Every structure is written in structure tokens, then in C-alpha cells.
Chain A
Amino acid sequence: MIVLPLLGRLALSLLLIVAAYAWTISGRAVAPLGAVASDAPGQASATGHWVERVRGSIPMPTGVLAAHASALVSMPPNHPAALSVFWFAGDRESAPNVEIAVSQFNRSSQSWTEPQLVVNRHVAARVLGAGIRRLGNPIAWLDHRGRMHLFVVATGLGGWSAARILHLEQSSPSGDSALQFQPVGVIPLSWFWNLSYLVRTAPLPLADGGMVLPAYFEIGTKISVALHFDQNGALMGLTRISKRRFTLQPALLALSPTHWLALMRDHSENGKIRASESWDGGGTWRDARDLPLPNPDAGIATLSVGDLHLLAYNPSNQNRNALTLANSSTGTDWTTVIELERGQAGHEYSYPAMAWADNSLWVSYTDMRKSIAWRRFDWLPGAAKP
């Protein structure tokens, strides 16, 4: 047997390291820094006002007692549906029978399709080979091929703090009305058994076809993060949004291609909507001045329509019985434009979601934890009639 001297072993080790490094980087995608956001759809930049066109409740699956955490996604112009809505449905939040439901707004019938249950924890667990205890918040995104991706909160041993983010991809044909999903895997985000990362808010589309998915860590402390994905839905990296340890469920707005704003739910007492901003397309983030808007430790939603930025939030730091839509051209000064709901004490209208489809603004939200309400608004130029 050949016995190498010290220098020989050192030289061979260096050779091994260089070869392994070259192997590791060969054919590997380079994660873009400072990716730019695409132009926001719509033409709501001139003076105008929102007019409600129609409202209602999304049909619920038979026998379902509770619904929460809806997410809207606009469908391509040639698709039979204008948009899809996903939510979690079951006996109650965190019930063993919770599944992810979807309904689509059909363009020809101008109505919502019968809901389908598209993610079942037992089925997904069997495909993954590892158990899933509970399912929660779904977030949907369409990739550059028109394939739907779902990001769903899936818990391990424990409650929401033991959650992981399960990534699923559409397995049915793109134009098919019956959606089916296949688990891609659990997104690796932390060393500690990959625990306690969740999603709730909508992704920010990027010019290269990729997207930034807001997420948050919530065991013991609350930390907002942004996950970069490429145009096929492959993970590109994670960036922390805020240094504050009580912010979660960040909602992203692109004020310019590289100047982004994250507005966040506040877990602290007498909460406000917290803000953080990035000047390099999500590469780095700095905490910014908080918005002068209250937050009752509840989820918010943001959307850019043309040059106008929209924010749906609960206008209280105590409860969720009112829900408001505000707009802004700067991202810092917000004006209330529509009172979506104002209920009595104990009522809950929460977890809003927004999308722009067929030249309308669509808003969905949890209605008393029993169903998902939806509203459709048109933008009319000129001042509102008194």
C-alpha cells in the first residue's frame, strides 16, 4: 500500500477539494441579486374611485363547518376561469379533517365553481413518506408555463409552531378545470428539524418569471423572511426582512422595480402595521418607519394596481370586527377608500387577500371563520358621486 508523505496528502486534499467544488457548481443556477418586479397590472393610476360590482360568499364543500385563510390568484387570459381562490376548510382551524379547498370564478357563467378539496394531509404524507399532522394557510402562484404551485402550511409534531412549508405543483393539465396537485417536497428553511416556517401572504412576481414568497418563523419569536423562487418554482434562497422579533406575515409591494416595501402583522401589544424596505430588489432589507395604521395581530394583504398600491387591513389594534381597504401612491401615506366590513363585538372579518383579474379588483376574506366572503370592484375614472 502506498503511504503518502504529509505534503503528498496535503496536495491530494487540495485537489479533492477543488474537484468537489467544481462538481458542486457545475450546471448550477446562479441566484440573481436585485431581481426586478414586473409591472403591476391595471390602470388605476389616474384620479378615480372604486365601485363595487358584486359580492357574495364562495361556495363551501358539503359538511364543512369552518373556513379560513383564503388566497387569490389571477388566471391567464385564455383560461376558462378569471381567478382561483384557495382556503383551508374543516371542522375548525387545526382540526384533523382540514383540507385545502379551491373554487374558480368561471368567465362564461360569471359564477364560482363547486369547491374541490385538492390537498389532503394523508394523501400528501403518503407521497412524501413522512406524516403531516395538520394543514393550514395555502398560497398559490402560477409559474411561467401556467402551472399552479401551492405552498401550504403543514405541521409536524406540535401546533403551528411546528409547521413547515409544503410545496405542491399542479399535476393536472394547465387548462383543466379539475385541479390536482402533487407534493414537490418540504422547503428546507432551518436546521432545527426545519420547524416553524409558515406562509400566509401573496407572492411578489418578478420580471424573470420567478417570484418572492413572503414567509415567517414563529416559534418563540416572530421573524419575517422572503423566499426567492425561479420561474419553475425552484428555491433560490432566503432573506430576512426585519430585525424586529414580533413581525410576521409580511405583505410585499414593489414601489419601483428595485424599491420594495414589506408591510407586516404586529404580534406586540397595541400593534401597528410594521414596515421594512429593500432598495436592491429584495437582496437586503432594512426596518422602516411604521405605518400610522393599527394592527390587532392580524393578517393584511397588499396589491399594486398600476401606480396605485392597495392595503386591506383590520383598522383596530384590539379586534378583527372591521375590515378596510386603503390606497396609496407612495406606500407610506394611506387613505381609506372602502370599508369592507364593520361588525359587532365578537365578529371576525380577517385574513384578506387581493388579486387583479378581468379589469377588476377582487378581495376575499374570512367571514366569521365560517365561510370566505368575496367582493369585486371596478375602477372608475373621476371623483365618486356624493
Chain B
Amino acid sequence: MSIQELWVAWTLHYAPLLPSAQSLMWARHVIWSVVMAAMGVGLVSRFPSLHRWTRHLPWGLALWAWVPGPWGASYWLGLAFQIPSLSAALIALSVLLHRFSRQRSAPGTSNQRQIPWATAWSLMAVLTGVLLLLDTFAVFDFSIYQWGFSPMAFALLLALALVPWVVSGKQGLKQPAVWSLLGALIVFLITRWPTGNVWDAVLDPCLWLVALAHLLRSLRRRV
């Protein structure tokens, strides 16, 4: 049996379970509104000298994503980028929660020395993104993306997502990158958003670029 045949036997056993078109309508609005609001928060905090009405920008962007049809942001963003991953949405949600709870310290940071899960997660996201990008252009004999429809891929990712909690307990789940991966898998288990493929639930190309930037920044800090 060749590697390709083994891969087919392992990956194509169960048919993909896709989300319904109706539920995707909701997913598109919910996910884009959270992501856009977080982008608004990012913009406002980067330019604090702007007029004070700009503090309402995140709310405006979030509402804009809910407008149906061609006047809505999710309609045009969906044309180009479809729907962001659930991980991206949950990381965006953590940005919003942090912003609106007016915490002074970044979430998950403490004086205790702890395992840098966020950096480890960024490294894994970057490597996974590279593999998925190469897979898009059929560099491998088998399709990694197709494997994302299989229950086995979901189970392995769930095992990976639980490692910080098993190793570090409650502390391990405090960093947004860590709990967003676990949260994305739980939401995916229930809803199958955004495509029924677990790779699309945990990582999208934009989040991949963010992870790459985070990783490079972490490395620069260490140097």
C-alpha cells in the first residue's frame, strides 16, 4: 500500500460534515462583527490623539458587519476572505474584553515565570499555515486540507489544545492564544463553522500573518 493509498484510507473514511447555509449567514455576521470591532479597538488605541468620537469606531464597525446585502461590510469582506476562523474571532473577543474591562495588565500575564504558550502556539500556527499553503498548491501527494474534515484531525487538535491545561493547570489557559484555540474547537464541534473543516476553524490566512508577526516580535525581544 502506497503512502497516498494509506492517506486516502485514513482521511476519506468519514464524509465531511458541513454547516448549513442558514447558520453560515449568522456566522458571517457574528464573526466579522467581532473581528471588525477588535480592528477598530486596535486603530483607536494606535491613534489616541484622534477626535473623541473615534472611541465609538469599534461599535460602528461591529454594527456595519451586521448590515445585510451590499451595504454591509461582511458582504464585501466575505467576497474576498469568506469568514475568518473561530480562533481569530475569539482572539478578537479577548481584545474587546480586555479593552472594555479596562484591565491594566495584559490578559494572562503575571510575574510568575510560565511556559510561553502564546509563542509556542504562534510557532505552531506559522508552521501549520506554511503546510496548508503548500498543500493548497498540491506540493504533497496527499491533501492536508481534506484531512481537516476527518474526526481524527479534530481529535488530535483537541488533544494539542488541552496540553497547556494538562501541563500548567489553570495558568496554562490564561493566554488568549491558548484558550481561543480550545474555544474554537468547542464552537466548531457544535456549529461546524465556518466551513466544516477544522483547519478553517482554527487558522485562516490573516490569522497566520498575525501569528507570524507575533512570533517575529517575540524572537526580536529575546534577541
Contact = CB atoms under 8 A, between A and B. Distances in A.
B154 A20 contact: yes
Contacts of B162: 13, 16-17
Contacts of A239: 8, 12
B21 A24 contact: no
B137 A130 contact: no
A243 to B, nearest CB: 7
B143 interface: yes
A24 B82 CA distance: 24
A221 interface: yes
Interface in B118-158: 132-133, 135-138, 141, 143, 145-146, 148-149, 151-152, 154-155, 158
Contacts of A10: 166
Interface centre among A31, A129, A240 (most CB of B within 10 A): A129
A192 B78 contact: no
A17 B155 contact: yes
A234 B80 CA distance: 25
Interface residues of A, number: 57
B205 A192 contact: yes
A217 B79 CA distance: 18
B155 A21 contact: yes
Interface in A29-60: 29-31, 33
Contacts, number: 166
B8 A20 contact: no
A269 B110 CA distance: 62
B74 interface: yes
Given A17-B162, A21-B155, A236 B21 contact: no
B94 interface: no
B137 A28 contact: no
Contacts of A235: 15-16, 18
B68 A21 contact: no
Interface string A203-220: 000000000000001001
Contact of B76 (A131, A188, A221, A283): A131
Given A13-B162, A237-B149, A192 B79 contact: no
A237 B165 contact: no
A121 B2 CA distance: 43
Interface in A1-32: 3-4, 6, 9-10, 13, 16-17, 20-21, 23-25, 28-31
A185 B15 contact: no
Contacts of B17: 24, 28
A128 B185 CA distance: 24
A156 B205 CA distance: 15
B70 interface: yes
A193 B82 contact: yes
A33 B146 CA distance: 15
A89 interface: no
Interface centre among B14, B141, B197, B199 (most CB of A within 10 A): B14
Nearest to A130: B78
A245 interface: yes
A30 B13 CA distance: 6
A284 B82 contact: no
B70 A20 contact: no
Given A30-B15, A223-B138, A237-B15, A21 B70 contact: no
A7 B204 CA distance: 34
A284 B8 contact: yes
B12 A237 contact: yes
Interface in A172-222: 183-186, 188-194, 217, 220-221
Interface centre among B28, B152, B155, B189 (most CB of A within 10 A): B155
Interface string A155-168: 01100000000000
Interface string B10-52: 0111111110010011001100000000000000000000000
Contact of B75 (A16, A131, A185, A230): A131
Nearest to B83: A130
A284 B7 CA distance: 10
A36 B157 CA distance: 34
B107 interface: no
Given A16-B158, A129-B74, A221-B138, A185 B21 contact: yes
19 contacts: A17-B155, A20-B158, A21-B152, A21-B154, A122-B70, A126-B68, A128-B78, A129-B68, A132-B79, A191-B135, A192-B136, A193-B205, A223-B138, A234-B18, A235-B16, A236-B12, A237-B15, A237-B149, A245-B138
Interface of A: 3-4, 6, 9-10, 13, 16-17, 20-21, 23-25, 28-31, 33, 122, 125-133, 156-157, 183-186, 188-194, 217, 220-221, 223, 230, 234-240, 243, 245, 283-284
